[in-house]
Amino acid sequence: MLSGFGGNFAQEYVQRCRALLQMGKMMRSIAKKLTLLSATLLLVACVTTNSVTGRSQFITIPASQDAALGLEAMNEVKKTAPVVTKGAMAERIKRIGERIAAISDRPDLDWEFVVIDEPVLNAWALPGGKVAVYAKMAESFPSDDELAAVMGHEIAHAVLRHGAEQMSRAQMQNLLILGAGVAVGVATEDEQNTQMAIGLASLATAGFVQLPHSRKMELEADHVGAIYMAKAGYDPRGAVRLWQHMKTLKEGAQQPTFLSTHPSDDNRIARLEGRMDEYLTYYQK
User: Which residue numbers are catalytic?
Assistant: 154
CB 94 within 8 A of CB 102: no
Total residues belonging to the chain: 285
Residues 3 and 1: their CA atoms lie apart, in Å, by 5
Residues 237 and 259: their CA atoms lie apart, in Å, by 28
Tell which residue, 85, 133, 83, 130, has the closest CA to residue 110.
130
What value does the CA radius of gyration of the chain take, rounded to a whole number of Å?
A: 26
CA angle 8, 13, 15 (to 5 degrees): 95
CB 141 within 8 A of CB 121: no
Q: Is the dihedral of CA 2, 5, 6, 7 positive or negative?
A: positive
Residues 16 and 9: their CA atoms lie apart, in Å, by 10
Helix axis angle, 265-274 relative to 237-249, nearest 10°? 170
